[in-house]
Structure 1
Amino acid sequence: MAVTVKPLTERADAAWDAFVAAFPASTFFHRAAWRDVIARAFGHAPLYAFAERDGAIVGVLPLFHKTSLLFGNALVSTPFCVYGGPLAADDEAAAALTAYAADKMRACGVPSVEFRHGPAEAAPLADGWVEGPARYVTFRKPITEDDEANLQAIPRKQRAMVRKGIGNGLASRVDASIDPFYRIYAESVRNLGTPVFSRRYFRLLLEIFADCADILTVLDDGAPVAAVLNFYFRDEVLPYYGGGTERARSRAANDFMYWEVMRRAAARGVRLFDFGRSKLGTGAFSFKKNWGFSPTPLRYRYLLAEGAAIPDTNPLNPKYRLMIATWKRLPLALANVLGPPIVRGTG
């Protein structure tokens, strides 16, 4: 039977998530609940759609109309997520979802559609689509139930940093405490010259993904010095939003933090550690390689209107250098006020 494309409604959420759970190349960012998180936290309009054949879902497309005065408008699958492009069981479903995105691009009058394909091999490029530049990689690695084996798999110099954190008497706790996490994360991203997300966004993540998200906080003499918000999907852990204070670096708290995520995740049956996306040539890229993770390129795909260019909100873009340098010098309280309205357009 022919494939039809239908907009996602709440009644179909369970069927959508069942398809995602069973699809080998799916990721945490394909879950239907991201539609509500991003719409409520950032105000972007969801255009989620699924391909159906004979009453069964055979493909899904999480898609948003992202709007920003500073950074422009676009359709993105999926903003604020490192993966999240369309999933399709066959070529017909893939073609139908790609055509849906093209139709929405014209209807919304935006210059581009972006598909953020994950680390699994994507389908051949559709006509008119282009592959983005080699800008991002992801780091994923199997782990075992054996803590010592996981520790020995970390290269010697990085392993020494983990042991230093352990030797410093650092401790960790896991809960859903937003305020200590937010204080640490806001300071960390300000120091990098990056606007911070709103508290509301993180509260929504922990509320909507209450069954598969938590915060690990590192304590030094009882004081929080580093924290990371983690997601769990099938047998994977994704430490996604993390940071540390100035004290964290000298105490090896960031190294200890990711080891604790790995150790605790392994104990609950997790077998894949997803260290997430990093930009080539950055400190985060080097840090993850030092843990013994091999980078896998992420080549996002774009459909561009005539005369349009691939969007580039990358902080390494030279046109943002002055803004980043200025942001690093802002008082933290001011950065926390100004950041959320700006960051909603970066996506």
Structure 2
Amino acid sequence: MSNEAKLLISALSTKQISQWDDYVKQHPNGSFFHLCGWKNVIEKSFSHPCYYLVATQENSIVGLLPLVEVKSRLFGHALVSTPFCVYGGAIADSDSIVRQLEQYACDLAEELQVDYLELRYKTKQESPLLLKRAHSTFGVELAEGEEKILASVKKKQRAVIRHSLKNELKGDFNTDVETFYHLLSQSYRNLGTPIFSKQYFSNLMEEFGEDADILVVRDNEDKPSTAVLNFYFNEQVLPYYGGGNEASRFIKSADYMYYQVMCHAQKKGYRWFDFGRSKDESGPYKYKKNWGMEPKPLYYYFHLVKATELPNLSPNNPKYKLFIQLWQKLPLAVSQFVGPFLSKYLG
């Protein structure tokens, strides 16, 4: 292909959907969160407008950028790649095309008069946009076999997993959204975080089919203890949404759960365990480091339109402290009812 071929940037068309996903899967910076299925899930679950941009040369895709507009009186107005996801941003055949997609996104952000544009890159970019570094991601290559996987875990955490294996826990991989949602709701409420709607998780399971499953861990009385919704992409497994009841920490159910995800994925031929992002130096960040995984910084870039400073929707923001304390005291059923009205804007 000639480098002189004209670059066209346009909205994704229906006939380009399979080409889009093929491009994501073969691109070294493509992620599960770039897949077009997220557009369907977000539109169906939250009704947010999606702007999926495709760069083409001579009718071939040479770059793409998924964008979603999220507008709320409480939490602001943003154009994000991609909300509800830890990775995003433009991927393309060259840095030049990435920058052109970014410029197109900036122009769109100006046109929509959002507060800001946010692009969530996994790797550092040579970009003129404003950089914010607040999160890191964790991952590890999966060893071959359960014993080698266990041996790859840091000694202190390995002892915790061995302890969990003696607690007569049982894990079952399934599509049980109902049990998963009940456990996740408890975790979210206890953290003071609004829960998503149950329909959102049903939509994820339906959209991604065999590329998603749920692990439910039960205690020695066969009662659900913890659960996690996992995504599978290329050679990676991503345990993405996980939670449990208050009793789970005493029996080390979560530790057992993530170990089972690692073993299950390795048996299925997956080679990389993506433990997701955590805010730097937070409790989850330290927990993941205890597994022996080294944090890798995430690079989130911003273009401010109406906003005068970088956004801070973190739970650590002092202005949310009272809200979190009140939310933690809500009855579970109330948090499940009210949560989805707020969480759809907290992507």
Q: Which amino acid aligns with 1:104?
A: L
Q: CA deviation at 1:95?
A: 2.6
Deviation of 1:122 after TM superposition, in Å, equals 3.7
Measured in 1, the distance between the counterparts of 2:145 and 2:214 equals: 23
Match of 1:92 among 89, 92, 96: 96
Contact kept? 1:64, 1:75, Cα under 8 Å: yes
Residue number in structure 1 paired with 2:191: 192
Contact 1:145-1:269 within 8 A present in 2 as well = no
After superposition, residues 1-347 of structure 1 pair within 5 angstroms as 1-118=5-122, 121-126=123-128, 129-132=129-132, 134-220=133-219, 221-305=221-305, 308-347=308-347
**Unaligned stretches of 5+ in structure 2?**
none
Distance in 2 (CA, whole Å) between partners of 1:267 and 1:103 is 46
Q: 3-state SS of the aligned residue for 1:52?
A: strand
TM-score (norm: length of structure 1): 0.97
Count of aligned residue pairs for this structure pair: 342
Shift of 1:343: 0.7
Whether contact under 8 Å (2:143, 2:152) holds in the other structure is no
Other structure's SS at 2:281 match? coil
Q: What amino acid is aligned across from residue 298 of structure 1 in structure 2?
A: L
**Are the equivalent residues in 2 in contact too, given 1:60–1:87 (CA < 8 A)?**
yes
Q: In 2, distance between residues paired with 1:67 and 1:307?
A: 13
Q: Give the distance between the partners of 2:218 and 2:18, measured in 1 at CA.
A: 39
CA distance in 1, matches of 2:25, 2:283: 33
CA contact (8 A) 1:112 1:308 kept: no
Per the TM alignment, residue 96 of structure 1 is displaced from its structure 2 partner at its CA by: 2.3
Bigger Cα displacement from structure 2, 238-247 vs 303-312? 303-312
Alignment root-mean-square deviation, CA: 1.1
| Other structure's SS at 2:209 match | coil
- Percent identity, please: 41
Change (3 A) 1:335 1:306: closer
- Post-superposition Cα deviations, 1:280-300, rounded to whole Å, max 9, x if no partner, equal 122111111111110011120
Give the Cα separation in 1 of the matches to 2:291 and 2:69: 37
The 8 Å contact of residues 143 and 272 in structure 1, kept in 2 or not, is answered as yes
Deviation at 1:84, TM superposition (A): 1.1
How many Å separate the matches in 2 of 1:250 and 1:286? 19
The separation in 1 between residues aligned to 2:27 and 2:198, in whole angstroms, is 32
Residues 323 and 306 of structure 1: CA distance in aligned 2, closer, same or farther (over 3 Å): closer
CA contact (8 A) 2:116 2:307 kept: no
Q: Which amino acid counterpart does residue 203 of structure 1 have in structure 2?
A: S
Partner AA of 1:109 in structure 2: Q
1:147 is displaced (CA, Å) by: 1.6
Contact between 1:114 and 1:302, CA under 8 Å: does it hold in 2?
yes
The residue type equivalent to 1:340 in the other structure is P
1:3 and 1:96 in contact (8 A); partners too = no
Cα distance in 2 for partners of 1:83, 1:302 equals 14
